[in-house]
Chain A
């Protein structure tokens, strides 16, 4: 019941309401808890209320970390395979 999902703001109605894309459907959500929203921002939506904005730069940074790890893993696997073949 604590589940919350990231949704994209499609249109602002007033200071407390916006339309968001929820699984392809536009729905009205309450944005009274989050300041300075613009169309295109992503928010975490919980029981009809936006709880916080998602920071795209920080998200990219976290993903880059995983990317790096994946590449390390590949290099490691290749090295292992190389050793095995020698």
Chain B
């Protein structure tokens, strides 16, 4: 595939890894957070931790929408699915996430409710048109990448005059979560070791690179936006190491083939026509973050499932032994969880980080064998 294969070349990956070893100062440590779950997945899939020297550490961030959705919101979706008139549509991963008391949409579906998996939100409109006697609710989750399609679908439903379609909106914002990570008690106490961010690829195609500019300025943390292929990630790591070595602190863009400073203005306009900032939204692991999520504007209120069904705000019961909240704050690793691998596995997830392939626990579980051992420099050269 063009624009994919060239960025997976093993030979060049080794050259980049070697360059990282040459430039990483053995006298210091580099703690780099990949914010986005797409990067977490790529990093494990391609064994990137094994290519890095001991003093370059990757920390997995909260950029996995399935992982950060609080249990209460999932419980609300389950309550919606249980209404006899409702067909609840959502992305595949959401079906397996455990809610309070280990209920999930999959289990609720087995009870005979109508829960459907979507590839595209446009399919939810079709389902609404095909089922005029039912209420079709699209359970929308995701960061800025997934938000513009949701906005378009709501707009289209309005144009079509659909009376049986609504959206349970759970769209969240990347920069708000990055601020939150740098303002946790662990960040204040110094327990969070974090020297710089690998910025998201596809989120940034939409929002551009400008929204990251406060992080170097306010928090002295450099940001390098990176594509999702292994060479992109290695190059971004090298760029971060260079910034830290030089004492520079700025936003750099490795993914220039798809990200500009201003982003996709047309997509941003589509989003702000239909959606607006929520005063506050609860995140798993990070708690309530002001202005960190979007809600449907009052002009489109009839398409807002929360209003249409008067959905009660639920708070949910966390599985106490699950370490997802600390993992999402960047202060724990999946291996710190006593449930990891036994009994918690991708087939039997006990927490949200084990569900999506972008979750840190699922990535560790599926590709964990690469994550521990570091490849010695001599072998890398061979």
Contact = CB atoms under 8 A, between A and B. Distances in A.
Interface of A: 1-6, 8, 23, 30, 32-35, 42, 44, 46-49, 51-56, 58-59, 61-63, 65-67, 69-70, 72-73, 77
Interface residues of B, number: 55
B135 interface: no
Contact of B257 (A47, A54, A77): A54
B306 interface: no
Contact of A48 (B63, B149, B202): B149
Given A47-B121, A62-B257, A73 B15 contact: yes
B311 to A, nearest CB: 22
18 contacts: A1-B358, A2-B36, A4-B145, A33-B267, A34-B264, A42-B2, A47-B91, A47-B120, A47-B149, A48-B122, A48-B149, A51-B145, A51-B264, A52-B205, A52-B258, A54-B257, A56-B257, A66-B235
Interface of B: 1-4, 6-7, 9, 11-12, 14-16, 18-19, 36-38, 63-66, 91-93, 119-122, 141-143, 145-146, 148-149, 152, 200, 202-203, 205-206, 231-232, 235, 254, 256-258, 264, 266-267, 270, 356, 358, 381
Contacts of B4: 5-6
Nearest to A23: B1
Contacts of B9: 66
A30 B151 CA distance: 13
A73 B205 CA distance: 32
A5 B1 CA distance: 9
A1 to B, nearest CB: 5
A65 B19 CA distance: 13
A2 B381 contact: no
Given A47-B121, A48-B122, A65 B235 contact: yes
A4 B358 CA distance: 13
B167 to A, nearest CB: 14
Contact of A62 (B36, B37, B256, B358): B256
Contacts, number: 128
Contact of B202 (A2, A35, A70, A77): A2
A46 B145 contact: yes
B206 A51 contact: yes
A76 to B, nearest CB: 8
Contact of A2 (B121, B146, B256): B146
Contacts of A47: 91, 119-121, 146, 149
Given A34-B264, A54-B258, A59 B3 contact: yes
Nearest to A60: B257
A50 to B, nearest CB: 10
Given A54-B3, A63-B6, A30 B231 contact: no
Contact of B266 (A23, A34, A44): A34
A2 B358 contact: yes
A30 B145 CA distance: 14
A52 B256 CA distance: 12
